[in-house]
Amino acid sequence: MTGGLAISAEARAALTNWLAQLSALKGASANTITAYSRDVARYLAFLADHRGGAEGLHAVVQTGQSDLRAWMAHERGRGLEARSLARALSAVKSFAAWVADREGLEATTLLSARGPKYRRKLPRPLSVEGAAEMIDTVALQARDDWQQARDQAVVVLLYGCGLRIGEALGLTGAAHPLPQVLRITGKGGKTRLVPVLPAAAEAVARYVEACPYDLPRDGPLFRGARGAALNPRLIQLAMEKARLQLGLPATATPHAMRHSFATHLLSAGGDLRAIQELLGHASLSTTQAYTAVDAARLMEVYDRAHPRAH
């Protein structure tokens, strides 16, 4: 996990246990576990080098401001961007809070540390026409008819239901035929209910009818050429080819279809908090970043909801 980094056995064991708890109890994804492992291991290794030797948990948790500044300067010096450094600090603070709680230690200085400020890159959704063209064109990329139907069904779910690609590919045979309301398990193991448009149910039905493989209720709904679970990279590649044909920017990714879902709902007058629930966002600010409606359009939506506010 941490290679040959100079970390004490005590700190290494604590990191392993913390990551195991994140995975088992918090439902953290494999990518999150990998990123947190790397970030915290680098922090622990830096402290060991900075202070002249590996240290126990007490010293690690009670890091002072000067040590934290030195660590962040070191990370920026090796090319870490502000956004990545903020994420690393968040991982370190989460680890420190867990250790402090278990060991009865004080970690006020570390937990009160603020990360670098950065401007969140706003997603760039497709236009309504662009999304429709993407759905039509992505179906032309695969060689076999059933794979074309498969790719189109996945992209329709991303746009029509606002699913993450992992959520769409996580559906099992039990999801067919798609119900009017789909129960989705998203990040952190949280579930949400998502209305299913007839177009999405029809797209999935066309794929299932054409698929040459049996699709048992407990097996993956979407299959690759040899019958295994569909690799998300194949959907990404299909969209890359489609966007080149359509002259769309590199931001026209599978996740952009989800952005487009949120933006077009809000543009049509949808309620922001309802859209938050549909997307499965814990924070309303995250939902706001997923939408690309101009300020005037937002005010129109606000005025309809609060006609006496002015």
User: What residues are labeled active site?
Assistant: 164, 187, 255, 258, 281, 290
Cβ atoms 121, 81 nearer than 8 A = no
* CA–CA gap between residue 229 and residue 150 (Å, rounded): 12
Q: Is the CB of residue 206 less than 8 Å from the CB of residue 147?
A: no
Which one-letter DSSP state was computed for residue 175?
Answer: G
The strand ranges marked E within 89-203 are 181-185, 191-195
- The candidate with the shortest Cα–Cα distance to 207, out of 258, 149, 249, is 149
Contact 15, 95 (CB under 8 A): yes
Separation CA 71–CA 258 (nearest Å): 36
Using only C-alpha atoms, the chain has a radius of gyration, in whole angstroms, of 23
